A and B are shown apart, each in its own frame.
Chain A
Amino acid sequence: MPAVSLKNIFKTYDDGKVQAVNNVSFDVEQGELFGLIGPDGAGKTSIFRILTTVLLPNKGEATVGGLDVVKGYRAIRNKVGYMPGKFSLYQDLTVSENLSFFATIFKTTIEENYDLIKDIYEQIKPFSNRPAGKLSGGMKQKLALCCALIHKPEVLFLDEPTTGVDVVSRKEFWDMLKRLKEQGISILVSTPYMDEASLCDRIALIQNGNIMSLDTPQNIINSFPVPLYAVKSKDIYRLLKDFRSDPAVESCYAFGEYLHLTLRDDHDSKKTPDQLAAQYKTEEFEAHVITPLIEDSFIRLMQEKEHAVVT
C-alpha cells in the first residue's frame, strides 16, 4: 500500500474558471521522500490541501495511509503532519507552549515522541520561552516542523518549507528531512527551487495544474533528449541575443555565468556552437557539453507544452 495515492484528481476554483489541479495522479511509496517541484500557482498547495483533508477535489480519488481523503478524513488527520506554506503556529504562545499545545490536541506528550524531534528541537530550545511570533524565519520553520512531528505521523506534508529561506538554512532543512526519512516517515514536500529536486527519491515536475514529468531526478536528467551546451563569451548579453535570433538555435537561455544552448538537428542550416560563434564574431568564446540540471528539464518541458499549444 502506498503512503499516498492520487488518481485523476481535478480541482477548479471560481466556478470552473481556474483549473488549479488538472487530472493529477501519482503515488508516494512508504518511506519515500517525494518532491512536487513547480513555481507558484502550479497547483502544489491545492494538492496538499486535498491530501490533508481540508479541501475537497472536484473529481478523482485519493488515499493517505490507505484511507480515502473524503470518507476517512478524521482518521487521516491523526496520521499526518502538515506544515503549510504560511507560518500557522500561535504567534503569541511561546515555543514550548506551541509544542505542548500540538502534543495535547493529538493526545500525546512531548516526552513520548521526543526522540523524533530531538535533533531539531535542541536547536530552538534556548528560545523555548520566546513567543513564536518573535522567532527568526529559520527558527519558526524548525518549530513548525517539530509541531508537525510531535504526534509521530505516518506521512509528513511540507508545503514549500524552504521558500524565502537562504542557502545555508535550506541545506540544514534538507539534512533534517533526510534523517526523518531514515526513521521511516513518508514525506511529500513541495518547492519552487529546482536545485532541491535532486535531494528527493522521486519528483513530479508540475506546472499549471499538470504533471509534466514524474521519475527519479536522475532518470529525468537522463531523458533530456539532445546535447546541452554551456557557452559563454566576453559580452554574454550580446551572445544571448545573437544566438536566440539564429534559426539553427533551438533554445538559448541564461544560466549562471553561462548560457545554456540546444541546437536544431533537423534544420537545413545545422551548425555547431563554434560555427555559430564564428558567424557572430564572438570574442573569447567557449563551449562545452554539460549534464542537464532539473531546471533545464523543467524549461524544456514547459517550452514543449507551450509549443504544443501554439501549433
Chain B
Amino acid sequence: MNNKAIICQNLTKQFGKFKAVDQITFDVDQGEIFGFLGANGAGKTTAMRMLCGLSFPTSGKATVAGFDVYRQQEKIKASIGYMSQKFSLYENLTVMENIEFYGGVYGLSRSDIKKRSEDLVSTLGMSNEAKKLVGELPLGWKQKLAFSVAIFHRPKIVFLDEPTGGVDPITRRQFWDLIYEAAANGITVFVTTHYMDEAEYCKRISVMVDGRVEALDTPANLKRNYNTNSMDEVFFQLARRAQRSGD
C-alpha cells in the first residue's frame, strides 16, 4: 500500500473506434482536493465511471483506494462516496430516513447510524428539519445534506460531480467549507465543476481535452504557465483546442 488515493496509468476507454478516454495518467494524494475539469464531452464522466468501479477500462491500469479497477470493483464501491447534482437523495423520504437508508446500504451498524446521524444533523444545523421530507428542503440544504450523506460511511475518497450547479453564491461557499473540512479529516476529494473560481479552491487540477489530460498542476502554476491571471483564461486556451464538440 502507498499513500496515493488514486493511481491512473494510461487508462483508456474505447467505444468502437471512439476513444472517450485516451491514455490518462495521474495520481491523487490521500487527503488532497483534486479538481477534474474539462469541456462537455472531454471524457470526464467516462473516466469517473471507471474510477468509481461502474465501467471496465479498455486498457491501462488504475487503483482507487488501493483496489484494482478491473478486479475489485465492489471493494472500490464500498470505499468511496459519490454525489452529483442530479442524483442526490430520495425526495419522499425524510432527512433522517435518507441518512439511515444510506448508512444501511454501506453496512453500518444501527448504533453507529444512530450516533453519527445525530451528530450530522446537529453539525449541519438541521435538527429541526430532521423529520421533514427532503423534497421540502431548499436546494442548498439538499446539496449540503447530500454531501454529508456521501461521506457518512467515512469513505477514503469522495467523488463529486458538479456538486454546486445552480446553487446560490453563499451556499456554494458553505458547500466548499464542508469540502475543506472533509479533506482536513483525511478524505480525498475528487471534484468536477464548471465554476472556474472553484477550480482555484483545489490543491491541483487537471484539464481534459478530447479524452486526454492536457494539463495537470496547481492553479497557481497553471496560470503562470499559460501566462494569465485568470483560471477562466487557462481553461479557455486549453478547451478551444478541442476537436470534438459537446457531450
Chain A interface (Cβ < 8 Å from any Cβ of B): 38-42, 135-140, 163-169, 171, 192-195, 207, 237, 253-257, 295, 298-299, 302-303
> What are 22 pairs between A and B in contact, CB < 8 Å?
A39-B167, A39-B168, A40-B166, A41-B138, A42-B168, A136-B40, A137-B246, A165-B40, A168-B39, A168-B235, A168-B236, A171-B236, A192-B166, A195-B232, A253-B170, A253-B173, A254-B173, A256-B197, A256-B200, A257-B219, A298-B168, A299-B169
Q: Which of B140, B200, B245 has the most CB of A within 10 A?
A: B245
Q: How many A-B residue pairs have CB under 8 A?
A: 93
Smallest Cβ-Cβ distance to B138: which chain A residue: A41
With known contacts A168-B236, A257-B219, A138–B246 Cβ distance under 8 A: yes
Cβ–Cβ < 8 Å partners of B54 in chain A: none
The smallest beta-carbon distance between A144 and chain B, in angstroms, is 13
User: Is B231 among interface residues, defined by CB-CB distance under 8 A?
Assistant: yes
Smallest Cβ-Cβ distance to A192: which chain B residue: B166
Smallest Cβ-Cβ distance to A236: which chain B residue: B201
- Name the one of A41, A138, A168, A256 contacting B139, with C-beta atoms under 8 angstroms: A41
The smallest beta-carbon distance between A286 and chain B, in angstroms, is 13
The smallest beta-carbon distance between B126 and chain A, in angstroms, is 17
User: Is B178 among interface residues, defined by CB-CB distance under 8 A?
Assistant: no
In the bound complex, CA of A298 to CA of B197 (Å): 16
In the bound complex, CA of A195 to CA of B169 (Å): 12
User: Is B176 among interface residues, defined by CB-CB distance under 8 A?
Assistant: yes
Chain B interface (Cβ < 8 Å from any Cβ of A): 38-41, 138-140, 162, 165-171, 173, 176, 180, 194-197, 200-201, 219-220, 231-232, 235-236, 239-240, 242, 245-247
Smallest Cβ-Cβ distance to B183: which chain A residue: A237
Cβ–Cβ < 8 Å partners of B231 in chain A: 256
Cβ–Cβ < 8 Å partners of A303 in chain B: 170
Taking a contact as CB atoms under 8 Å apart, the answer to whether A135 and B200 are in contact is no
- For the complex of A and B, list the 4 residue pairs with the smallest distance between their C-beta atoms, beginning with the closest: A136-B246, A39-B168, A40-B166, A138-B246
Taking a contact as CB atoms under 8 Å apart, the answer to whether B165 and A164 are in contact is yes
Taking a contact as CB atoms under 8 Å apart, the answer to whether B39 and A40 are in contact is no
The smallest beta-carbon distance between B210 and chain A, in angstroms, is 13
Taking a contact as CB atoms under 8 Å apart, the answer to whether A137 and B40 are in contact is yes
In the bound complex, CA of A40 to CA of B235 (Å): 25
Cβ–Cβ < 8 Å partners of B247 in chain A: 136-138
Taking a contact as CB atoms under 8 Å apart, the answer to whether A137 and B41 are in contact is yes
With known contacts A40-B139, A164-B162, A302–B170 Cβ distance under 8 A: yes
- Name the one of A38, A138, A253 contacting B245, with C-beta atoms under 8 angstroms: A138
Cβ–Cβ < 8 Å partners of B140 in chain A: 39
Q: Which of B139, B168, B200, B232 has the most CB of A within 10 A?
A: B168
Smallest Cβ-Cβ distance to B37: which chain A residue: A166
The smallest beta-carbon distance between A141 and chain B, in angstroms, is 9
The smallest beta-carbon distance between B160 and chain A, in angstroms, is 15
The smallest beta-carbon distance between B89 and chain A, in angstroms, is 15
The smallest beta-carbon distance between A145 and chain B, in angstroms, is 14
With known contacts A137-B247, A138-B245, A166-B39, A254–B176 Cβ distance under 8 A: yes
